[in-house]
Structure 1
Amino acid sequence: MQQGVVSVKELLLKVMQRNQLVDMMYIAKNGEITKRRIKVIKVSEDKFNAYCFLKHANRLFCIDNVLALLPVIRKEREVI
């Protein structure tokens, strides 16, 4: 692995530890690409469990099917 390149699994573990929300681009088994806002609950070897705000339910995702992850940044002024 190149220096400075973070794997999807490492990023998932990091956002889980920080209790951070993530916007994810994901390709389903049928080839459909969706954008979902998730909260990572558990990361295993090749899958991860997350709460999906799109489906309003806990879902199991395949790490290899994640196209992009972008942590949701909450601006300080928006916190009440």
Structure 2
Amino acid sequence: MKEQLLKAMQRNQVIDLMYMSKGGEITKRRVKIIKMTSDAFQAYCFVKQAKRTFIIDSVLAAVPVIQREREVI
């Protein structure tokens, strides 16, 4: 998981996370990773509209957000 998150940070990608909080609640977050440490990462959370710190081991799934460019005809 850590390698996948590191790639997303290096590519400046927005990702969707399935995350389990300390209390056991599972949430879906859309984030952009700012920096990583050995066991956690700091990211801007679009759901909370603020910087948050996430524990890498609590990330259940991470999927890059694919944005389509819209063309005006």
The aligned runs of 1:1-80 (5 Å cut-off) are 8-77=1-70
Deviating 4+ runs (over 2 angstroms): none
* Structure with greater strand percent: 2
Identity %: 63
CA shift, 1:61, in A, is: 0.4
Partner of 1:77, secondary structure, is: coil
Structure 2 unpaired stretches of 5+: none
Code of the residue aligned with 2:17 in structure 1: it is: M
CA RMSD, Structure 1 to Structure 2 (Å): 1.0
Structure 1 unpaired stretches of 5+: 1-7
Partner of 1:14, secondary structure, is: helix
Partner of 1:19, secondary structure, is: coil
Task: Give the structure-2-normalised TM-score.
Answer: 0.92
How many residues matched? 71
